[in-house]
Amino acid sequence: MSQKNIVKILSFIFSLTFLNLHAERLVFSIDYFGISVATVEMKLEDLHHSMIENINPYLIDSLEGSKKLSVTAISSKVSGLLRNTFDNIYTCFTDRQFRPFLYEKVIHQSNFQEEAYIEYRLDLLQATYFDHITEYSRTYHILDTTRDFFSTLFYLRTLNLRENHILSLDVAGKIVIITTRWTGSETLRTNIGRVNTNKIEISFRSYDDTEKMRSDILTNNLHNEENKLFFWFTNDGRQIPVRSQYTYRPANIFWNIRSWDA
């Protein structure tokens, strides 16, 4: 059997291991200038009928393998290093390939408020945004690979990270093409132990000249073509993201895992 086929088989096994995970919780510290300025908690669970009572039925093809991804992001008391403090909630409902069909966000920043949802219609390749506070609505074009930031992170975990991948990201109504590249293996000391990892570089380029909407600082800044995003995923079937680094001025921003349980 060729090495290429072995890699494909291992990648398939890894994806099954992760997709069969019914519940998961990850907690990260966002570190800036070496100081923890925020905490992010992500919870993944299977989607059940009781969770979709208020969701338009035409958005859901099947509940089989569908997921609910809940994210909270809260800035710390020393977050004066950031321009804005925040207390944000994101909820993403996805199919088994982590393609979102509904994305909700409640944004409470020191200088900005947003309570909005985005409905994704993959059959029409369009998304519709609506903000309950301003009653602003907008419909825009998407691609069949388009995901939000958080569902993209979880989808990457199902892939063979040593291969290059091209995906698209919805950044506040602006579609951004992202390209992943494996840069090597590293062993890291983390809060969940000493782990072997695959390091991935993610680069960005705009899909078109569409202007993005104003939104939260946590995910809205991920579109600068001059900046790079790096992720370290555990080199096993779970492919847990244990660290990230976003090139930023005057200092890089790091996400470091605090805990993981399933």
Taking only the tens place, the pLDDT of each residue in 78-127 is 655 556 688 999 999 999 999 999 999 999 998 899 999 999 999 999 99
Domain boundaries, the chain: 3-261
Residues 227, 207: Cα–Cα separation, whole Å: 16
pLDDT at residue 194 greater than cutoff 70: yes
Residue 176, number of CB atoms within 10 A of its CB: 21
Which of 204, 169, 190, 168 minimizes the C-alpha distance to 235? Answer: 190
- Mean pLDDT in the chain? 88
pLDDT recorded at residue 1: 59
Residue 65 pLDDT exceeds 90: no
Q: Residue 250, exposed/middle/buried by CB under 10 A (0-12, 13-18, 19+)?
A: exposed
| Range picked from 35-39, 73-77, 114-118 for highest mean pLDDT | 114-118
Which one, of 42, 65, 252, 57, lies nearest residue 151 by Cα? 42
- Cβ–Cβ under 8 Å, residues 18 and 157: yes
Kind of pairing, strands 112-121 and 23-32?
unpaired
pLDDT band (50, 70, 90) for residue 53:
confident
Q: By mean pLDDT, which of 78-92, 105-119, 171-185, 244-258 is the weakest?
A: 78-92
Which residue type sits at 205? R
Q: What pLDDT score does 51 carry?
A: 76
Is pTM beyond 0.95 here? Answer: no
Residue 9's pLDDT band (cuts 50, 70, 90): low
Q: How confident is the model at residue 218 (pLDDT cuts 50, 70, 90)?
A: confident
